[in-house]
């Protein structure tokens, strides 16, 4: 296996974290909507935590993309 093929395989494996982040974001907002339907008065109080969770999960996706680009072009 040559180096270019190994880089492509490594970058592809590094982007698996992006799929995990998509699942995490869907779970966060799905649970927020379900909780908002159960207790509408608490929904505005929960929104700050939802945004914090979204930012943390999205950061994992960005780290995965950075690692993929470092593997490809580094």
Domain containing residue 31: CATH number = 1.20.20.10
Indicate if the pLDDT at residue 74 is higher than 90. Answer: no
User: What is the value of pTM for the model shown?
Assistant: 0.77
* Angle value at C-alpha 69, between 23 and 61, nearest 5 degrees: 20
Question: Each residue of 12-64: pLDDT tens digit?
Answer: 998 888 888 899 999 999 999 999 999 999 999 999 999 999 999 999 999 99
pLDDT of residue 17: 84
Residue 43, exposed/middle/buried by CB under 10 A (0-12, 13-18, 19+)?
middle
CA proximity to 67, closest of 3, 23, 12, 20: 12
Task: With cut-offs at 50, 70 and 90, classify the pLDDT of residue 7.
Answer: very high
Domain that holds residue 48: 3-73
**Distance in angstroms (rounded) separating the CA atoms of residues 56 and 60:** 7
The domain tally of the chain equals 1
**Distance in angstroms (rounded) separating the CA atoms of residues 24 and 3:** 33
């Amino acid at each position: 296996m040559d180096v270019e093929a190994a880089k492509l395989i490594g970058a592809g494996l590094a982007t698996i974290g992006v799929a995990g982040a998509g699942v995490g974001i869907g779970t966060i907002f799905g649970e927020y909507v379900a909780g908002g339907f159960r207790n509408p008065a608490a929904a505005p109080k929960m929104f700050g935590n939802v945004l914090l969770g979204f930012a943390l999960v999205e950061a994992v996706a960005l780290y995965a993309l950075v690692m993929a680009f470092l593997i490809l072009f580094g």
